[in-house]
Structure 1
Amino acid sequence: MPLYELSSDLIAEIPTVTYASLGLREREDVQRVLREHIDVISPDTLILAEEFGEWIDSRRRIDLLGLNRDGSLVVIELKRTEDGGHMELQALRYAAMVSTLTFEQAVDAHQKFRESRGLLPASAEIIIREFLDIADGPVAFSNKVRIILASANFSKEITSTVLWLNAQGLDVVCVKMRPHSFQGRVLLDIEQVIPLPETAAFQIAIREKLVAQEALATSGRDLTRYRLQTSQGETFANLPKRRLIYKIVAEAIKLGVKPIEILDAVPWRQANMFISAPGRLSGVALMATASGRSAARYFCDDAELFHVDDHTYSMSKQWGLRTEDAVKKILDILPTNHGLQYESEV
């Protein structure tokens, strides 16, 4: 669909132009800008590398290699052409090549990417771990590789191929990026055409349900529930691990233990156990200060926040194999006769 300018007495079409006619180059212009604003075509994505080609045939390079918060790698291919060329076949080859990428290789690639752009020194491993909200332990990427194709347009050949690939369980997204010239400016009309946004959520939900069912059947996920009793005689039953440690941290803070003391007790979670900001804030206001952090991963309802020394704290919901270790470490720093008792429920 074309873009139109609406005025008081007419609707005028804003002409579609080509990247070539605007003097825009694929890598130096379009790719460079998208690299800095990747959320417009791939939300919740961290760019790991640009022109990635860490394999034997170094002539083949991925325009942008990303990582989604769900742990899946993202192959992003860009084309200035009006029909997308044969980019879907090229992207499939790249997806196959990076499907075996390890966490250590991703860290190395991201470190080189940051150095090549002259970014401030920082640990690529810490950046990736914070992005995934995995403070410690091994990191394994999803077996699925997402493919995002971005072009001014797509031929029927490409769209038919992508629809078929998605029906086979692949995750391929087509995004149109049509340039328009308007009063000396370049407007970019960005539209996801496959899958249609109206059906994407449903398709993703079905796919995630199947993945979750397979993971639950094969991973031996720990579904232990706990019972907690406080010194005031309150009893909380059927607590999953994340809720157990939240309740214990809440009791610790009631007993006068500072968040910094809790972090010292569980040093492996110092990077992302809490989000904090000065002042007495609401959950919404606190999360607004934490760019790139998902509210779904934190106890950030107003009633769940901690207010200590004129600061507001929200605690992470992401707890793994060392949750009980953390619980024991926190109990060890509580005042004598704290009265907290917990046990697993059969």
Structure 2
Amino acid sequence: MPIYEITQDDLTPLTETSFDVEGIYERKDLQRHLKQNIGVLSNDLMVISEEYGEWLDSKRRIDLLCIDREANIVVVEIKRTDDGGHMELQAIRYAAMLSTLTFKQLIDAHASYIAPSGHTYEQAEAAIFSFLRWDEANEDAFANDIRIILAAANFSKEVTMSVMWLNQHDIDIRCIRLKPYRLPDKRLLLDVQQIIPLPEVSDFQTQIRAKEHAGREHRAERYDIRYQFWADLLNFAKTKTDLHAGRSAGRYGWIGGSTGIAGLGLIYATRGTDSQVELYIDFGDEDKNLMVYRHFEQNATAINANFGGELDWQDLPDSRGCRIRHLVPGGWKSPKEEWPLIHETLVNAMINLDKAFRPFFSSIPV
């Protein structure tokens, strides 16, 4: 279906073109743009490496190796062709090869990727920890799943049927169509659409998988306990605020919420014996992150007063984002009879955190 330009008198279809006609290449152009703007494909990704190929007895290379916010590995394969070739088979091979990847090897891969820009191994490790909101390495929580994203100009029937079948068998693989259009003034547009599964279906499938996973008998005990900790907190939060309405309990150490501004998140986090609420700043651009952080910091006196106490201000110079947090005693390892008080304290702190910062959202520098 074409894209239309709305003019005063008519709807004018834009001219559909192709990467071949426009002289746009896979690695030189598409891959370069997507690695710099990975949120185009999914808003929960961090690029770990490009052309990754540290395989045993293999010279094959992944276009983009990523992780998501839940520490899952994500394989991104890119084609400029109109049929996708055999990219789904290629990506499955890569996913199988990555199934033995350790967290240390992931850090090594990212360190090698950012080394040409002058960044150190320690900075690579800190960036990954910051993205995952981890304080230390956790092999048990790493790579519990491997996702696959196929991005191409279009997909053959064989590819789409294969992807749909794999989705039905709980393989998280999706097709994203990249279609270029030429404007009358010669500017080039790119229409990015997830076509399999449809986003609404994908969200539903994710919820179903999460529910099934929550019921499995052989999960690690700490995941069971932490899942229940979050479930109880969210149930209580619903009685006080809609800030995290629609969020579901998970196995991991944090739950994100939206402020209504992309790049600013209201986060609950728990470790073993303490927890926190935080405003997390991540616009995908380190300079903008710091600029927004400084904007809030300049108003720290008023924000702390609105919150009702001193906040912990962290610009995290070696990390991807910045955060302002408030620590609360007690976490998922605390005795369950203490959970109601912990949850009440966290929810009240979250409400106060939102009220403290919201008056300053409208004056955020563009």
Task: Compute the TM-score of the two structures, normalised by the length of structure 2.
Answer: 0.65
Equivalents in 1 of 2:113, 2:267: separation in Å? 28
Letter in 1 for 2:186: G
Inter-CA distance 48–13: structure 2 relative to 1 (3 Å threshold) = same
Q: Could you tell me which residue of structure 1 aligns to residue 51 of structure 2?
A: 51
* Offset of residue 6 of structure 1: 1.3
* Offset of residue 138 of structure 1: 2.9
Given that 2:259 and 2:266 are in contact with CA atoms closer than 8 Å, whether structure 1 keeps it comes out as no
* Moved >6 Å (runs of 4+): 222-225, 301-304, 309-312, 316-324
Equivalents in 2 of 1:292, 1:60: separation in Å? 38
Q: Could you tell me which residue of structure 1 aligns to residue 356 of structure 2?
A: none
| Secondary structure of residue in 1 paired with 2:95 | helix
Equivalents in 2 of 1:30, 1:123: separation in Å? 27
Letter in 2 for 1:135: D
Equivalents in 2 of 1:34, 1:189: separation in Å? 13
Does 2:4 correspond to 1:26? no
Deviations 1:192-235 (A, max 9, x none): 00110121111110011222222x6431227779xxxxxxxxxx
Given that 2:175 and 2:196 are in contact with CA atoms closer than 8 Å, whether structure 1 keeps it comes out as yes
Given that 1:299 and 1:305 are in contact with CA atoms closer than 8 Å, whether structure 2 keeps it comes out as no
| Secondary structure of residue in 1 paired with 2:20 | coil
Equivalents in 2 of 1:63, 1:317: separation in Å? 42
Deviations 1:115-166 (A, max 9, x none): 13x1544521111111111102533423311000000111111111000001
| Secondary structure of residue in 2 paired with 1:190 | strand
Q: Could you tell me which residue of structure 2 aligns to residue 314 of structure 1?
A: 325
Q: Could you tell me which residue of structure 2 aligns to residue 295 of structure 1?
A: 267
Letter in 2 for 1:95: A
Letter in 1 for 2:158: E
Given that 2:76 and 2:151 are in contact with CA atoms closer than 8 Å, whether structure 1 keeps it comes out as yes
Inter-CA distance 319–218: structure 2 relative to 1 (3 Å threshold) = farther
Equivalents in 2 of 1:318, 1:165: separation in Å? 44
Deviations 1:51-79 (A, max 9, x none): 00001244200000000011110000000
Inter-CA distance 199–127: structure 2 relative to 1 (3 Å threshold) = same
Given that 2:266 and 2:277 are in contact with CA atoms closer than 8 Å, whether structure 1 keeps it comes out as no
Q: For structure 1, list consecutive stretches of 5 or more residues without a partner in the other structure.
A: 226-237, 244-271, 274-282, 325-346
Q: For structure 2, list consecutive stretches of 5 or more residues without a partner in the other structure.
A: 234-252, 270-275, 280-302, 314-322, 336-366
Identity %: 39
Q: Could you tell me which residue of structure 1 aligns to residue 250 of structure 2?
A: none
Does 2:166 correspond to 1:165? yes
Q: Could you tell me which residue of structure 2 aligns to residue 339 of structure 1?
A: none
Alignment RMSD? 3.7
Equivalents in 1 of 2:91, 2:23: separation in Å? 25
Letter in 2 for 1:185: R
Letter in 1 for 2:325: S
- Considering only CA atoms, is the larger Rg found in Structure 1 or Structure 2? 1
Does 2:186 correspond to 1:184? yes
Inter-CA distance 164–184: structure 2 relative to 1 (3 Å threshold) = same
What is the total number of aligned residue pairs between the two structures?
Answer: 270
Inter-CA distance 310–35: structure 2 relative to 1 (3 Å threshold) = closer
Q: Could you tell me which residue of structure 2 aligns to residue 125 of structure 1?
A: 125
